């Protein structure tokens, strides 16, 4: 069984202010993530998924039509943990390996913003590494790159609960704030094993 205590924040709840309020962090982590974990535990009880780790559940349930709810909740647990690990203050310098791949920091940010702004409804924007190349992609709802054998490096949650208390309907401003002030690029580099 999974537990919220397994997914602690790497920063204080108020550390991301003014770009993400302590209230948003609390509600997002302690309520939304906790709900996905509780739902997942109920859904996998007494099933073949009960003894699998999170990654195994995601990979095995993505194409199992009878396990759509299991996949959605497991993927949201993974996506949220990954998102919270991407957040931090003090490591906001985009690494050269990424800026070089996109032709510069400004070009990377513009591409990321463009993909984010094209997401209709709820979803995620990801910086991924596929075949040794960097790409920026979007996934809808709970979908996640790891379900498709793709290595994620960075993600931004575009579900309303991630930004609405602080930014209301200004999702584009939230994307800007994320890129300029909230990304922990040290975590991204650690994902690349650099």
Per-residue pLDDT tens digits for 160-189: 999 999 999 999 999 999 999 999 999 999
* SS3 state of residue 179: helix
Banded pLDDT at 91 (limits 50, 70, 90): confident
Query: Per residue in 20-30, pLDDT tens?
Result: 999 999 999 99
User: For 106-122, what is the mean pLDDT?
Assistant: 96
Alpha carbon separation from 145 to 59, 130, 131, 167, 184 (Å, rounded)? 10, 10, 14, 27, 20
Is pLDDT above 80 for 13? yes
Domains belonging to the chain, first-starting first, are 21-86 (1.10.287.990), 96-191 (3.55.40.20)
Q: What is the pLDDT of residue 66?
A: 96
pLDDT of amino acid 194? 53
Residue 131 burial (C-beta neighbours within 10 Å; 0-12, 13-18, 19+): exposed
Q: What is the pTM of this model?
A: 0.95
CA-CA distance, 82 to 96, in Å (whole number)? Answer: 22
């Amino acid at each position: 069984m999974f537990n919220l205590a397994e997914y602690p924040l790497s920063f204080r709840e108020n550390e991301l202010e003014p770009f993400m309020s302590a209230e948003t962090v609390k509600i997002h982590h302690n309520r939304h993530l906790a709900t996905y974990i509780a739902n997942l535990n109920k859904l996998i009880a007494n099933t073949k998924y009960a003894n699998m780790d999170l990654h195994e559940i995601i990979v095995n349930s993505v194409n199992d039509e009878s396990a759509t709810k299991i996949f959605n909740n497991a993927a949201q647990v993974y996506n949220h943990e990954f998102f919270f690990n991407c957040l931090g203050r003090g490591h906001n310098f985009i690494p050269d390996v990424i800026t070089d791949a996109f032709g510069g920091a400004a070009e990377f940010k513009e591409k990321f913003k463009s993909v984010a702004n094209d997401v209709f409804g709820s979803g995620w924007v990801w910086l991924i590494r596929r075949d040794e190349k960097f790409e920026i992609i979007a996934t809808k709802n709970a979908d996640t790159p790891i379900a498709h054998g793709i290595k994620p490096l960075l993600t931004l949650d575009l579900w309303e609960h991630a930004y609405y208390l602080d930014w209301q309907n200004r999702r584009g401003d939230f994307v800007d704030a994320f890129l300029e002030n909230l990304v922990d690029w040290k975590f991204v580099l650690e994902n690349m094993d650099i």
